[in-house]
Structures are given as structure tokens and as C-alpha cells.
Structure 1
Amino acid sequence: MKRNWLQAEPEMAAAGDEVLRRLETAGYQAYYVGGCVRDELMGRAVHDMDIATSAQPGQVIDLFERTVPTGLAHGTVTVLLEGFSFEVTTFRRETGYADHRRPSEVEFVEGIGEDLKRRDFTMNAIARNLDGQLFDPYGGSRDIERGWIRCVGKPEERFEEDALRMLRAVRFASVFGFKPLPSLWRGLVQCRDGMSYIAVERIRSELERIVLGPRPLRGLELLRRSGLLERAKAPLPAGAGQDSPAALAALPALAPERPALRWSLLLQALGVSASDAETLLRTWTFPGVLTRQVVSVLQLDEAAARLLEPAQEGAAGASGSFSPSGPSSPSGGMDWRRSWIKLQLVCGREATALWLERETTLKSAGALRNPDRALLVERAQEWHRQVPVHQVSDLAVTAGEVMALSGRRGGPWLGELMKELLEQVASGDLSNEQPALLNAVKERFEHGI
């Protein structure tokens, strides 16, 4: 009896079934394989569907109107049907992994059994036919039920073929909450030096899935224990998962949809400064936008820490419980507010919003042990909403108008004056209206600028 796909979009599943049906009608074998079968069994959403077949690439191309020759040397053709894409790959055997990544020889074979033999883990070595029947020669469905990660065959052989599989094992353990079997772990430790062969961008892709997944702390602890990243071409600093700041425990509470929040907190836990973070993230081939966001959040956090230093020094010298009330503490009124607003203008609106979102989440999770920092976050949320301008271009007066009023040529004085006007408007000392701003400029000239 046919088992319908429960975790895949119905239209995608129907289009996938049509691909299998055409291949079978033409006399070829065809199966769903890999992640789609695994995720269906696990009750996880299926986002794409890969197909393995006895048809060779040219035969697949002849059967379908729209195809893309994705990787003909490795037997892969992408079939486009009903608005969906399906990677259709010929049954194959792979040998000669000289670079710990790609096979030097690919041989097309007749049966699905030989094809499944080359796959990494048992849960990824399950095939499903058009009628919903499973071909599971390595007990992958049973391992899924038990929450096990087990290699197909000898772990050492699988990891020598492609060293990235070691990091994939950690990723699956982290994301799924599965347990790597002792045999797999022993093979991983034995083969971990092979990580030096893997391109940084491939490692970064796996690392992102771990850090942004549902159980990042588990993944980080497994990475620490395995020593995998220490052997990568661009190793991360050691320390995550062991003796890290208490705030790191709140990492899962930060929204994965906003990766800068998690990455900034993790880098801080690893002792990476804002000045070093940019170089590190670029070495790891992170996108420029994410790199800029993470660095800006770290810069703001370091500046906020400097604002808190006087309050902490006062706390250290006081007896009993400390209740800050001076101008160098969050409860110090306008002076503290002005200091924060100046900091916000320097670091930018985006960085401030990200930092406040991160710190608010940490505060809600009980991860902010410093009472001054918790109070700063509370006050800064309100101050952030109150700031009417964030950059000079937001002012109701332009640098050209200021020069025209002064009758002077531009120079450093102009930038300083525009910055001063910005701070006064942001703090609420001046309204952002052209007459008020020009009057303020006139007063500055009258008193000598």
C-alpha cells in the first residue's frame, strides 16, 4: 500500500512521484534517497527530494523536457518539473578519495544496494520506492528510532573518504539530539587530522548549522571533545562548551533567524575581541553583512562595558549590597542617558537594536548576573526608542546650509559642528527643525566656534 508523504509539500511530492514514474515506465529503477527519506521517518519537514536511478545521465536528459547538467561526471542531472527541482543521480560506486573529499573514480552500477553502500550514515542510506516501500539494508530506520548515529561500514573508511563526514556526525548529533555510537566516535578521533584537508567554507557551512540549530551547546561540547576544529585550516579559539561564561547557556534562546546574536555571544565566550572578530569571520568566509553585524555588536558591547566600569569600581569599594545612584551608573539620570545616546550614535542604530535584542533575551533567561548591566539594558530600551535621529543626514539642516550661514569654507570644524547638532537633537536638547538648528549654529558663531 502506498504511503503518502506526510512531511513534504503535496505539490512537490506529486512532482517527485512523476519523476519516479517516468523513470520506471521507461524501464529504469528509481528511488527517493537520502535526507528526504530520513526526515520523513523522523517527522521533520522535507524541503527537497533527491532521487537515485539506474538510468544514466544522458537517458535522464532524454526523458524530461527541462534538465540541468548539474554534475554529469558524477552522474547527477537536475530535473525541473512543475516548479520544483530534483537531483537525479545514477547509481554509482566511488573509489580513490585521494584528497579526503572527492572520489577520483566514479563507476555507474546497476543496483540501489551498491549505491547505498557508499553513503555516510545508516540513517542516510535508506531508499524509498514509488509505492512507499523502504529498502534499508543497514538498519537506518531502526537507528533513527533509537536515536543513533552509525556509519555505513567501518567509520574509519567513511571518514578517510570524506573528512567532512566527521563534522556532519557532530552536526546530526546536535540538531537531532542523536548519540554517536562509540565505534563512530573512536573512528572520528582516529581520523580527525583529516580535517586539515577540508576547505574552510565547507566547514563553516556545517558549523553554522550547529550554532544556529536547536541544540548548539551540545554541538559545541562535542566539537570541543573531538578536537575537530583545532585541526581545521582556520581553527576557532578553544574554549566553547567548557568553563564558558554563564551567558553562553542562553545561546539557544537567541533567535536563529538573527545569526549575529548567536555568533556575537559565542565569540565573546571564546574571548574574541571586536578587533579580532572581523579577521576571524572573514577567514572563515562568513558573508560580509553578517561579519559587519557581529563586529558592530561586539564593539557596542565593549563600549557598554567601559561605561559600566565606574559603577563596578564603586561596587567593589562599597560594603554590603550595592545600589548605584551616581552619574556613572545606569540609575544616574541624564548623564548616563547622554552617555548611552552618544554611544548609540557612534555604533549605529542597527548594532544598537541587535545588542538590545540580545541582551534583553539574556536578561529574560536570567543570564545577566551584573545588576548594573541588567539595569542598563532596561533603560537603554526606552532611550533607544526615544532617539529621533541617528545620523547627520537625518538632521533638518545640511552641511551646505551651515556653511552658507557661516560664510566659511568647509573643514574639520564643520564635521564637529554637525556631530554636536546630531547629539543635541538625539538627546532632546534641540528639536529637529531647521529654524531651531540654524539658531543654534548662529549662537555657536557668536560665541566663537
Structure 2
Amino acid sequence: MKVSIIVSDLSSQGAGRWGGAVRPFLLAKALKKIDCEVEIVGFYRRDKEGLSSSPDVPIIAIPTHPSYPRFLTSVPKLLNHITGDIIYAYKVKLPSLGIALLHKIKSGYPVILDIDDWELSWNGGDEYQYKPSVFKLFKDIWEPDGALHKIEHPIYLRWAEKLVAKADAVTIHTQFLYDRFGGIYLPNGKDTALFDPSLYNPENSRDKYGLSNYRIVMFPGAPTPSKGLQDVLTALDILNQPDIRLVIVGGNPYNDYDRQLTDKWGRWIIKIPKSPPTVMPEIVAAAHIIVVPQRDTPKSLAQFPLKLTDGMAMAKPVLAARVGDIPEILGDTGYLVDPSSPEQIADTLQLIFSDLEAANNRALKARERCKEFYSIEAMANVLSGVIEKVL
């Protein structure tokens, strides 16, 4: 059985950003566990760096233009490279789901849709409306840089949502997405063989990355306002303990939010550049605490933060906000605070650092929970049933 995973954006600002650490590659790893042959087929913008082949899964990246109508010329090229018996579309977008359904019309092969985010939440969600004047509509259509030339204009995302019911099966990873789209719960899985704390020495990692003199609170991801790092930094202001640092791994490739944080709280921040997925366990090993301080927004509710399972798999104490599925994922193996509560974050950081041995013992239970429910093997078990369903 061969599965073609269709990805709308394999560029450095899309799935190419974190390489094998993001959802399409987790799906590929899990599918390979159940003896499926897998390929990833998708687009990348000519003005962005794209992904090349990887040793784990073949990647076919089709260069395209970032706007309509020139984007459409690359669609036949991508369709010609889809060779799977099952098509797995990643994200509710026309360049993934729309193309998967076009291929189904041509071939009759079943389509599975994976939804890992509510794309419209980045554009106002249900409140979004496109009601242009006649003049504005004319400009949006006919001017070369008109809004309707953008591939991911919100109106196209809304059209894509109307196609969800056409898929033969839908997989989701949060209760929020299930309530909105239905589907089969398929949590993000972590490669717990790679993310194995016994393979790494925390002191050596701290020394390698220049962190030996600090107590490290780590956020291994791209900061955005909805991720709540401003609350952690405010908590560090409250504590005012000079040996604590917030280490941000990777940074934000989309805007200048990194700079905004550094301008205000630079004395608490250490940045580590984006690193390959195989290096991330060594970096996470350097942390004393992993923080996932999500704010209570539609964006956060729709997401399954991979940072949670980074910390859980590496047996690190995880401090997270009570947002969305986070309490269910952590169970009683982490430390929970209310969203947007710097004072609670400060108190909990103090609590963890006051008895780090007890916190590390709790974190060992988090690793066992991760292996049982949030591993690649756990994903594979669910996907086995999904494959049976569509066949």
C-alpha cells in the first residue's frame, strides 16, 4: 500500500521550517510503521527555500508561483507526481485538499484529510467576512497584487472548509477541531526512541550551547503572541532572579515578534537558531523546565503543541497553560497554570526550582505517558484503523 501525502507548502515558511518534526512527517513515520510506502508531494514558492529529498521519506517539491492564476500552471505537474493508492491531504487548503479531490475524480483513489489547525482562525475565524465594494472587488481581481490573487486568501480557506465532507476520512488532533469538523482523533506522535533522555547528558548539552551558568526555562518553537511567552517573561520580571533564562529555539520566521520580545525583555532571553529535528533532543536535554504558556485563543485551542511532547518524551518538567487539550495531554504529569497568568507562572517556576528532584521524578511519568499515548507507535495504531476504513 502506498500513501501520497499532499502538502500545500514545503517551503522554508511552511512544512520546510522544521523538517521532519512537523505533522506531515509524523504521519509518514507512523504510516511506515504499518508497512505503508509513503511519499510527500507538495509545492514550494520559487522565492523561498524548499525541501529536498530526505532519507526517511521521498519528497517531491514542485516549484510554484505564490499567487493566482500563475499558481494553477503548477497543479498538473503535481497531479502527475501523485502515485499513491491513498491520498492524504494535509490541511484544509485548496492546494492540498482541493488537489487531492481532483486526483480522486481522475483516479477513484480514496482521500484522507488531516486537519492540524483551524486556518481561518488566523483571519478572524467565524467573524471573517468578505464583502467588498464593486470597486474593491474589481481591484482584488484585476490588479496583479490584488487580494484575490493570494493563494491563501480567507475566502479560499472558507471554500476549502466546504470540501471537508468530500474526504473519505478525516483525522484531527484536538477536541476543538473534532467539534468543528468531526473525524478520528489522531494525536501528534513523538519519536520516543530519538527523544530518549538516557542518550543525552544535560550538563554536556548546557555546556555545548553556552547555558551552563543558568537555570534554563525553554520554549522549543516559534514565538507568536498567542503562545504566551510574554507571560513567562513577565513572570521572570516578577521573580527577578539573575540566573534564570528563557531559551527560545528556532525563532519566528514570519514577522518581527522576536525583536519585540527582545526589545522589552532581552536580559532574560537566549536564542538558539533553528536546528535539524535530529539535534532537537540534545537541545531539549539542556532545559530544566519546558514552558508551553498558550493563551486562550481560537488559534491555541485548535493546536496540539509539539513542545509538550518534546518535554514529556525527554522527561523534563513541563509548565503549561490550561488551554484546549493541554490538560488532557499532560494528565497529572506536568504543572498547569491559568492562561495569561504571569503570577501563577512565577509561583510555579519557583515551586519547580525549589525541588527539582521531585519535578524530575514527575517528568519521568510524563515520558511514560508520552510513550503510551503520544508516540509514533500510538499514531500508527490509529492510522491502521483509518486505512482499513477508507479501503
TM-score calculated relative to the size of structure 2 = 0.26
Work out which structure has the larger RCO, using CA pairs closer than 8 Å and 6 or more positions apart in sequence.
2
Of structures 1 and 2, the larger Rg is shown by 1
